[in-house]
Amino acid sequence: MSTTNGDGRTERLLEVKDLTVGFPTRDGIVRGVDQLTLNVGSHERLGVVGESGSGKSVMGLAILGMVLPPGRIMGGSVRWRGEDVLDPAVAGRVRGREIAMIFQDPMVSLNPLKTVGSQLRELLKRRVGLQGPAIRRRSLELLDMVGIANAGERLRAYAYELSGGMRQRVMIATALACEPTLVIADEPTTGLDVTIQDQILALLHDLSTELGMSVLMITHDLGVVAQFCDRVQVMYAGRIVERAPINEMFTDPQHPYSLGLLHSVPRVDRDDGELTGIPGEPLDRAQFPPGCAFEPRCNEAQDGCRDAPPPLLKIAERRWVACYNRPAAGSP
């Protein structure tokens, strides 16, 4: 059901290079995101999968130039249509209007003390520049777009008066308010009923097609990726370990971690789709080794793996892997 655009026709929108975000802790600086490189083109739906703590949310915020304290962007660059998003002036323009984020927890991501209407109004007024009756008209239109019936009444509702699915729809409406070109959806279906999850995903899919938006879908659920994305990258310990077109990722995963992931998901339609069943402990970020972060759990590990993290190398057309056991394209 996913639509892939020919490579030549897509325009580069987002270019993230070597992005590193550090959090000072007692045991030194933990890199929530480590030398991350990623590109999103126009009309593209890119998935990012990884287990809990792999740095997906940190990545999502860092793309907007945001880090929760005490974190800090330690290096790398984020460019939006060539402009540096880490420059606060550019960030101020890009946030919301070019790139809008939908967050993990719709229960708490809306202001509890503002009505749906006032949260839309402030966006339309301050970020879009609408005035007077146009604001209300557009608010109703947005709620309608995200499939909320009784829009007029819902404008007066507070978040606590809405169901989880409804809140996530409102969240999506606020993301669409400024007609962004890219939507970053950070586990947009967490905590929702399975049927609602499907509805929300279908909604996002349809909206991205209709409005021509790109989507960066963050999830730990491979089922979501399979349904939604054109391309996927696998994250482990803050790094991208594999990147591939969606079909190839499922038919021919390369990185040992990706292999483990896919084996741990016997059926794509499983309810929870949690990434479990990989031998070894889930990663403890405070003490991951200096070499490949997956080494302690890897069944293909060799001596060299412990020395330095393996670089993300191209192994075939549109395929990238970070593993010493997967020779890069062209090398013997």
Partner 1 sequence: MLRWLARRIIAAALVVFVVTSLVFVVTHVFTDPATVSLPLEATEEHRADRRAALGIDRPLAVQYWDFVSGLVVGDLGESFWQDQPASKLVLERLPATLKLVAGATAVTVLLAAPMGMLAAWWERRFADHAVLGFSMASISAPPFWIGYLLIIVFAVQLGWVPTFGSRGFVSLILPSFAIGLASAGRLAQMTRRGIVEELRKPYAVTALSRGFSRSYTIVHHTFRNVASGFVTMTGWELTRMFTGYTVVIEVVFAWPGVGRLAIHAIENRDLILVQAAVVVLATLVVVTNLLVDIARRMIDPRVELA
Ligand X SMILES: Nc1ncnc2c1ncn2[C@@H]1O[C@H](COP(=O)(O)OP(=O)(O)OP(=O)(O)O)[C@@H](O)[C@H]1O
| Residues at the contact surface with ligand SF4, assessed by CB under 6 A | 256, 292, 294-295, 298, 300-301, 305, 310, 323-325
d(CA 111, CA 46): 29
Q: Is the peptide bond before 70 cis (omega within 30 degrees of 0)?
A: yes
Quote the least distance from Cβ 29 to partner 1, whole Å: 18
Quote the least distance from Cβ 187 to Mg ion, whole Å: 6
Q: Mind spelling out the 3-state secondary structure of the chain? A: CCCCCCHHHCCEEEEEEEEEEEEEECCEEEEEEEEEEEEEECCCEEEEECCCCCCHHHHHHHHCCCCCCCCEEEEEEEEECCEECCCHHHHHHHECCCEEEECCCCCCCCCCCCEHHHHHHHHHHHHHCCCCHHHHHHHHHHHHHCCCCCHHHHCCCEHHHCCHHHHHHHHHHHHHCCCCCEEEEECCCCCCCHHHHHHHHHHHHHHHHHHCCEEEEEECCHHHHHHHCCEEEEEECCEEEEEEEHHHHHHCCCCHHHHHHHHCCCCCCCCCCCCCCCCCCCCCHHHCCCCCCCHHHCCCCCHHHHCCCCCCEEEECCEEECCCCCCCCCCC
d(CA 294, CA 309): 9
Binders of ligand X among residues 123 to 142 (CB under 6 A) are none
With beta carbons less than 8 A apart as the criterion, state whether 157 and 192 touch: no
Which of 17, 114, 125, 326 is the binder for partner 1 (CB under 8 A)?
Answer: 114
The reply to whether 57 sits near Mg ion by the rule CB under 5 A is yes
Quote the least distance from Cβ 174 to Mg ion, whole Å: 19
Stretch binding partner 1 (CB under 8 A), from 71-79, 91-99, 130-138, 223-231: 91-99
Number of residues that bind ligand X (CB under 6 A): 17
- Residue 294 interface partner, choices partner 1, ligand SF4, Mg ion, none, CB cut-off 5-8 Å depending on type: ligand SF4
Quote the least distance from Cβ 216 to Mg ion, whole Å: 13
The reply to whether 316 sits near ligand X by the rule CB under 6 A is no
- Here's the x/- map for ligand X, 47-66, by CB under 6 A: it reads as ---x-xxxxxxx--------
The reply to whether 163 sits near ligand X by the rule CB under 6 A is no
- Residue 50 interface partner, choices ligand X, Mg ion, partner 1, none, CB cut-off 5-8 Å depending on type: ligand X
- Residue 305 interface partner, choices Mg ion, ligand SF4, partner 1, none, CB cut-off 5-8 Å depending on type: ligand SF4
Which of 10, 109, 264, 325 is the binder for partner 1 (CB under 8 A)?
Answer: 109
Strands 99-102 and 83-84: unpaired
Quote the least distance from Cβ 306 to ligand SF4, whole Å: 8
The reply to whether 64 sits near partner 1 by the rule CB under 8 A is yes
Which of 220, 239, 243, 255 is the binder for ligand X (CB under 6 A)?
Answer: 220
Between the alpha carbon of residue 3 and those of residues 168, 207, 252, the distances in Å are 24, 13, 20
Phi, psi of 134, rounded to the nearest 5 degrees = -60, -30
- Residue 167 interface partner, choices ligand SF4, Mg ion, partner 1, none, CB cut-off 5-8 Å depending on type: none
The reply to whether 171 sits near partner 1 by the rule CB under 8 A is yes
Which of 3, 25, 111, 276 is the binder for partner 1 (CB under 8 A)?
Answer: 111
Quote the least distance from Cβ 325 to partner 1, whole Å: 39
Return residues touching Mg ion (CB under 5 A): 57
Return residues touching ligand X (CB under 6 A): 23, 25, 30, 32, 50, 52-58, 68, 71, 104, 220, 285
Return residues touching partner 1 (CB under 8 A): 61, 64, 66, 68-69, 92-97, 100-101, 103-105, 108-114, 122-123, 126-127, 158, 160, 171, 174, 177-178
